[in-house]
Structures are given as structure tokens and as C-alpha cells.
Amino acid sequence: MSGTFHGLEVAKSGLVAAQIAINVAGQNIANAKTEGYTRQSAVQNSVSAGLGPFQYAPAGTSVGQGVTVTSIMQNRDGYLDIRYRNANSTYNTFSSTLSALESIRGVLDETDTDGLNAVLADFYSSLQDLSNNAGGVEYASLLRSAAEKVTNTLNEYASQFLQIKDELSYDLSLSVGDVNTLLAKINDLNGTIAVAALNGTDCNELKDARNLYLDELSGYMNITVTNNLNGTVSISSGSGTLLDAATGTVTALAVDTGSGSYAVVDGGGNDFAISDGSIKGLLQSLNGAGVYAGAGGDPFKGVAYYQRALDDFAAAFASVYNNLNAANGDLFAASGGGAVTAANIRVSDDWKNSAGFVDTSGDIPSEMLGAMDEKVAVSSGFMGTFEEYAALLMSDIGTDASYYGDMAAAKSAIAESIQDDREAISGVSIDEETVNTIKYQKAYQAAARVMSVLNEMLDTLINGMAV
């Protein structure tokens, strides 16, 4: 037998639950466009009739005690989070590599502008003229200015590569700094969430913020996130732990260039392996030495590859023409002495002072001309003409940039589709929330109606009955 005012209590719980649900719908609508917001819903449970401390079952039927809101739940699928973060890491590897390759392509691409291929063609034409007019000193000076164009182009390429390297390494240090900041922020949120969990607060909004940071972090590197029972998360990646929630310690990362190549190291100076993400893309774009990579080196063709390939070209070009001019002396030299590289190759002072320094006697001019069509071992594994080598560099960057462009587009589509799946669960639909608002409004009205019916019943009982 239920108490006289039992019905009033039940109706009141209905009012309260509907009110909370309307507030949740309001919160959802308010955050419909908030980045990282996860749709919430009020979890309602019916309350069963009191199971009192009776030795025997109470007589008659018992009615439940209304409704209660047990929690405000986030609609989120942890598995999709993992898939999204992996896809996001992979996508960022390709997109950051692509942007580095595009800078390199800007240097080497001669589709629209003239570069190394064009100046070599000029050099060839000047040799052709010199060999047809062996005694003409004016042709020797034309050849010298064509040679200066070649050396200037090589210098220019070398300095542009250096600049690209600078930009990439700046980018790398910013990215690593950002990772450290994100880890610190996540660590802070971990602390707040753990304390709030003890108080029984859901703190959904803090979790949203933390998830957003985790998504951002996954763009920099591949991470593994472990959810702990107290609501905190621990993060590890390639080489080990980045954030240990139990102790609240964060691994501080730094960029190291000590070994001649770029590396990310932990606080102890040990290499921290990074498997994916934009940091991985930057590292391979900086360190990738292609065919020059020794055992354990990065065989990707990054800036390091193009720098060395260009140095090889400069050295081979200088040595072939210096040998042909052996009777008079070196035509090309390194400014400041030492080995000839793309950055320091110059027309030698002797030749600069006198155009006729180039040997025009006998067959030398036609041998110089022939050298342009001869196969030269410019670098290990390459045997071909100088012009073919210049075209090869363009081909390398063209095919790589094209591959990374296509892959970046494909990986972006994958990440987008997982994001769609995530949104399907976590995203707010204003239509839906409007329906919820109406639904709970009606529920509230109905509960209120029950209350007024009960009121009338009590009125009848108390005032309408003659005693």
C-alpha cells in the first residue's frame, strides 16, 4: 500500500527529470557548433518500489517510485577515437612531407621557369660556337659567361636548399614545442578530472577539451592513449611513455642535431623514435638522403639527398672541365678553396681575368663539347650526361611530390570518413535536440498534469467529504 503523497513524489521526479533533460538539450544546442563538443544525453532510470526490510513480501501490488537521472552521458565511441587518431597521424606524415617536397620542387621545377637544364643547354650552345670558331676570343668569353650562369644557378639552388632546411628545422622545433605544451595541458586536465571524479562530477566538457588536445597531438605523432579507471589518460608513443597519469610525469621532448642529422630526444638525450605524424614527415624531409643514406639511414629523398646530389653534380662538372683544360689550369674552383660543392663552385680567378684562359688549341674545344654528350659517373649509381642528371633530379622530385600528393589526398579522405563516423555518434543535430526539447516539454506538462490531478483528488478527499 503506497502512501497518500506517493503520487506527488512520483510526479515531482518526472518534473525534475524532464527539466534536466531540457537543460541537456539546451546545452547541446548551445554547443552545436563548438569544436570538439560531444553530444550529451541525460540517462534516466525508473526507480523501483521500495524493497523495505520486510521479512515477508508486502501485501498488494507496489508502484515504482518515479524516475531519476543517474548521469549526463557523453555519446562517444572510444574505438573510433583510436582509428581517427591513427588515420590523422598517417595523413599528417604525408601532408607535411608533401609541403616540404613542394618547396624543393619550387627550386628544381623548370616547367615554367628556366633553371639548371636551361643553363646547361646554353653552356652546350656556347661550346658548340667555340668549337666551330676555335680561334675566336669572343666565343671564349661567351663560353665563360655561360659557365658563370651554370655556377650561379648551382649556388642559387644550394642556398635555396639551405633555406628550405632552415625553414623545416624551425618548423620541427615549433612542432616539438607544441607537443610539449599539449602534453602539459593534458596532464593538467588529468589532475582536474581525477579530483572531480572523486566528487562524482562528470566534467564532460573537460573531457572534450582533453580529447581535442589528444586529436591535435595525434597530428604530430602516432600516440597510444590508455584510459585509466579514475578518468585520467596515459599516453605513449614509439619509444615509450609520454605521459604517465599515475605519477603525473611528462616526458619533455627536444630537437637534437648533434649527430649531423635531426632527431627528437627525450629529457635524458636518448633518441625518441617517432613513427608517424607531421614530426615524422619533417624528420624524413630533413634527413632523407636517398641513395646517400648509409646502413640505417633514411632512404627517403629529402633535402639532404638533393643537397648531396647537387654537390656531386658540381664536383663532377668542375672535374671534367678542369681535366680538359689541364694544359692551362682549372676553369672551375671552390671559392675559399677545398672541395667543390654546389654552394662554392665558381669560375676560377684565372679564367675570370682572361676569357682566353680556356684552352682553344687543337681538339680541346670539340672534346669539351663532346663531354656534354658523354656519360659521366656523376654520383654512385648514376651514369649519364650532365643534362640527363639535371633532368633526373627534376624527375625525382616530380614523382615523389606526385606520389605524396596523391597519398595525402587518399589519407585525408580516410581521416574524413572516420570523422564522419565520429560525428554520426558525437555530433549535435539541432533537429534532434529540438524534438527532444518538445518531447521533454510535453513530459514536463504531463507530469504537472498528474500533479494537478492528484491535487484535485486530495482536495476531494480533504474538503469535499463531509465528516
Partner 1 sequence: MRISDNTIIRNFMTSLSGNAGQLNRASLKVSTGRSYQTVSEDPVAALKAMKIRRSLSRVSDFQSNISDFEAVTAERESAISEINDILTEISASVLQAKNGTYSDSDRDSIASSLRSYQETVFDIANSSYCGQYIFGGSKEYDIPFSLDASGKLLYQGVSLDTGTFSPEHSYMDISAGTTADTAYSGAYLLGTGVDAGGISNNIYNLIGQIAADFENNDLSKISLYSEKLAKVQEDITVKYAEVGAQSKFVEFFSDRLTATKTNLTERQTELEGVDSAEAIMYYNQQSAAYDATLAMGAKIVPQSLLDYISR
Q: Which residues bind partner 1 (CB under 8 A)?
A: 32-33, 39, 101-102, 105, 108-112, 117, 121, 124-125, 128, 131-136, 366, 369, 387, 391, 394-395, 397-402, 405, 416, 419-420, 423-431, 434-435, 438
CB of 125 to partner 1, least distance (A): 5
Nearer to partner 1, 349 or 420 (CB): 420
Q: Please, which residue, 63 or 424, has the CB nearer to partner 1? A: 424
Least CB distance from residue 150 to partner 1, whole Å? 15
The cell for 126 is: 656556347
Q: How far is the CB of 133 from partner 1 (least distance, A)?
A: 7
**What are the phi and psi torsion angles at 378 (to 5°)?**
-65, -50
DSSP 199-223: HT---HHHHHHHHHHHHHHHHHS-E
CA distances from 327 to 131, 138, 142, 211, 345 (A): 17, 20, 21, 72, 21
Which C-beta is closer to partner 1: that of 32 or that of 49?
32
Burial class (CB in 10 A: 0-12, 13-18, 19+), 68: middle
Residue closer to partner 1 by CB (options 410, 424) is 424
Q: How far is the CB of 29 from partner 1 (least distance, A)?
A: 9
Q: Burial letters for 127-143: b for 16+ Cβ neighbours within 10 Å, e otherwise?
A: bbbbbeebeeeebbbbb
Tell the smallest beta-carbon distance from residue 363 to partner 1 (Å).
9
C-alpha–C-alpha distance, residues 287 and 299, integer Å: 9
Question: Amino acid letter at 376?
Answer: V
* Residue 360: CB minimum distance to partner 1, A: 10
Name 24's Cβ contacts closer than 8 Å, sequence gap at least 6.
40, 41, 42, 72
Nearer to partner 1, 259 or 431 (CB): 431
> Which residues are within 8 A (CB) of 271 and not within 5 positions of it... i.e. 6 or more apart?
239, 256, 263, 264, 265
Measured from the CB of residue 351, what is the shortest distance to partner 1 in angstroms?
21
Using DSSP bridges, classify how beta strands 233-237 and 67-74 pair: parallel, antiparallel or unpaired. Answer: unpaired
* Min CB(372)–partner 1 separation in Å: 10
Q: Return d(Cα 236, Cα 222) in angstroms, integer.
A: 9
CA atoms within 13 A on the CB side of 96: 26
Q: Which is nearer to partner 1, 130 or 283 (CB)?
A: 130
Residue closer to partner 1 (CB basis): 202 or 387: 387
Asked whether the beta carbons of 197 and 230 are under 8 A apart, the reply is yes
Of the two residues 271 and 406, which places its CB atom closer to partner 1 in the complex?
406
